[in-house]
């Protein structure tokens, strides 16, 4: 399977962001905790190189508690400011605002010396579905930015003003133009950052079965009533079809349907909380 998804709206979005970056003080880089390194887009890194960055590792509720620390340590070891949050709910609002103040402290105090309250402008970037709009909603404690559990929901340019003197610019999720490391593309497809129509779901599910086998994720076998991974993909698909009550058509299971069930089950944490990426040693 080769994954490549760089539609015209992403080119346009990158151009919009290149333009907007000149007007902002800092960047909030939103990454999905389940696939942190896969969410790193080298094109963002180039674009934001001379801005203070707050790395927000979002969806921490979807990974085993404690494991995200390896990523916080990773960013800390590079002198970067990072925090792990779950942006569904408002609990983490203050932590993110404090992080923003921290990365902008130099510019804030420079203005304060002149007696001016600096409005801090932050551009929120991240791959599709990482939770940029949800994070913005969490920060403005109300429904402003448009969210959706599918890539490509945010299109135009949207500024949101917070009472704390912070302005946030939501941006459309953008991917690298190509993936040298297809493993990263596969992880992004697992977490729903790549539009479903551009990936063959049966091939994706096979990648996922291999992943579970390599990681020894027993929850997969338990859920579908198989006693291990030593079966052919067809046998595993048949077991999933049977366990989940899929209707056979002319004596066969529809493998695309079965594959979608597997991917849905992963996205609904039916195999437990799983972190896909770890920092490279
Ligand atoms: N469990 C969980 N889901 C989240 C979190 N943040 C966002 N989501 C969900 O992820 C999906 C994509 O969010 P959205 O904000 O639209 O992503 P965007 O494309 O980066 O703007 C939505 O279904 C959100 O409800 C989080 O912290 N935890
Ligand atoms: Mg969005």
Q: What's the pLDDT tens digit per position in 190-223?
A: 999 999 999 999 999 999 999 999 999 999 999 9
Looking at the fold, whether 35 and 139 belong to one and the same domain comes out as yes
Residue with tokens 């801090």: 120
Residue 89 confidence (pLDDT): 77
Q: Are residues 56 and 155 in the same domain?
A: yes
Say whether both 208 and 258 belong to one domain.
yes
Closest CA to 130 of 46, 64, 34: 34
Per-residue pLDDT, 152? 57
The answer to whether 152 touches 173, Cβ cutoff 8 Å, is: yes
pLDDT given at position 140? 86
Region 100-128 average pLDDT? 94
Of 50-54, 124-128, 138-142, 243-247, the poorest mean pLDDT is in 138-142
Amino acid 70: pLDDT: 97
Whether residues 140 and 234 fall in one domain? no
> Are 164 and 207 in the same domain?
no
228 CA from centroid of ligand 2 (Å): 39
Residue 227 has pLDDT above 70, yes or no: yes
Least confident of 16-20, 119-123, 151-155: 151-155
Which ligand sits nearest to residue 148's alpha carbon? Answer: 1
Q: Which of 30, 129, 157, 174 is the pocket-test mutation for ligand 1 (most atoms within 8 Å of CB)? A: 129
Two tokens at 103? Answer: 């990365």
Question: Is there a domain that residue 104 lies in?
Answer: yes
Within this chain, do residues 60 and 130 fall inside the same structural domain, yes or no?
Answer: yes
Task: Looking at the structure, tell me whether residues 46 and 110 fall in a common domain.
Answer: yes
CA distance 69 to 84: 8
- Same domain? For 160 and 206 the reply is no
Q: Which range is least confidently modeled, 95-99, 112-116, 160-164, 246-250?
A: 160-164
pLDDT in tens, 55-101: 999 999 999 999 999 999 999 999 999 999 999 977 899 999 999 99
Give me the chain's average pLDDT, please: 93
Domain at 84, CATH number: 3.40.50.300
Q: Which of 13, 14, 51 is nearest to 29 (CA)?
A: 51
Q: Is residue 281 part of a domain?
A: no
Q: Give the residue-averaged pLDDT of 108-126.
A: 94
Q: Considering 170, 185, 220, which residue would you say is the last residue of a domain?
A: 170
Ligand 1, residue 148: give the atom nearest the CA: 16
Give the torsion sign (CA, 232, 234, 237, 238): negative
Residue 70 domain boundaries: 8-170
* Whole-number percent of the chain with pLDDT over 90: 86
Question: Are residues 128 and 206 part of one domain?
Answer: no
Cα–Cα distance, 133 to 76 (Å, whole number): 25
Burial class (CB in 10 A: 0-12, 13-18, 19+), 254: middle
Identify whether residues 124 and 246 lie together within a single domain: no
Q: Which ligand is nearest to the CA of 32?
A: 1
Question: Is residue 187 a part of any domain in this protein?
Answer: no
| Domain boundary, last residue among 170, 192, 224 | 170
Cβ–Cβ under 8 Å, residues 121 and 160 = no
**What's residue 91's pLDDT?**
84
Q: Give yes or no for residue 245 having a pLDDT over 70.
A: yes
Give the three-class secondary structure for 129.
Answer: coil
Examine the fold and report which residue of 151, 170, 189 is the final residue of a domain before the chain moves on: 170
Q: What residues does ligand 1 touch, defined as CB less than 6 Å away?
A: 58-59, 61-62, 86-88, 126, 128-134, 147-149, 153-154, 173
101 in any annotated domain:
yes
Same domain? For 225 and 143 the reply is no
Residue 119 DSSP symbol: P
Q: What is the distance between the alpha carbons of residues 187 and 37, in angstroms, rounded to a whole number?
A: 10
Atom of ligand 1 nearest to the CA of 147: 16
The pLDDT of residue 90 is 77
Alpha-helical (H) ranges within 21-68 are: 36-39, 42-47
Residue 149 Cα to ligand 2 middle (Å): 9
Looking at residue 141, what is its pLDDT?
77
Separation of alpha carbons 58 and 71, rounded Å: 12
Closest atom of ligand 1 to 152 CA is 19
Q: Is the pTM of this model over 0.75?
A: yes
The count of domains in the chain is: 2
Same domain flag for 154 and 242:
no
Q: Please name the residues in contact with 239: beta carbons below 8 A apart, sequence gap of 6 or more.
A: 224, 225, 226, 231
3-state helix, strand, coil in the chain (%, to 5): 45, 15, 40
């Amino acid at each position: 399977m080769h994954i490549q998804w760089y539609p015209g709206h992403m080119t346009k979005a990158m151009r919009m962001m290149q333009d907007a970056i000149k007007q902002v003080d800092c960047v909030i880089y939103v990454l999905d905790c389940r696939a942190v390194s896969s969410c790193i887009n080298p094109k963002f890194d180039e674009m934001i190189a001379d801005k203070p960055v707050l790395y927000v590792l979002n969806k921490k509720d979807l990974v085993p508690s404690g494991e995200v620390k390896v990523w916080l340590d990773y960013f800390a070891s590079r002198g970067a400011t990072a925090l792990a949050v779950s942006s569904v709910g408002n609990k983490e609002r203050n932590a993110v605002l404090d992080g923003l103040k921290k990365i902008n402290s130099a510019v804030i105090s420079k203005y304060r010396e002149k007696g001016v309250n600096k409005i801090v402008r932050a551009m929120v970037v991240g791959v599709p579905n990482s939770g940029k709009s949800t994070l913005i909603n969490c920060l403005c404690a109300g429904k402003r930015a448009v969210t959706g559990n599918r890539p490509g929901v945010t299109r135009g340019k949207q500024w949101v003003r917070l009472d704390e003197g912070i302005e946030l610019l939501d941006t459309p999720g953008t991917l690298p133009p190509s993936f040298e490391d297809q493993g990263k593309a596969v992880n992004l497809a697992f977490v729903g950052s790549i539009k479903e129509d551009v990936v063959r779901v049966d091939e994706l599910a096979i990648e996922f079965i291999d992943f579970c086998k390599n990681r020894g994720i027993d929850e997969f076998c338990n859920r579908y009533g198989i006693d291990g991974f030593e079966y052919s993909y067809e046998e595993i698909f048949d077991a999933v079809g049977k366990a989940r009550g899929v209707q056979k058509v002319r004596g066969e299971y529809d493998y695309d349907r079965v594959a979608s069930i597997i991917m849905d089950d992963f996205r609904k944490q039916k195999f437990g909380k799983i972190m896909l990426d770890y920092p490279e040693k």
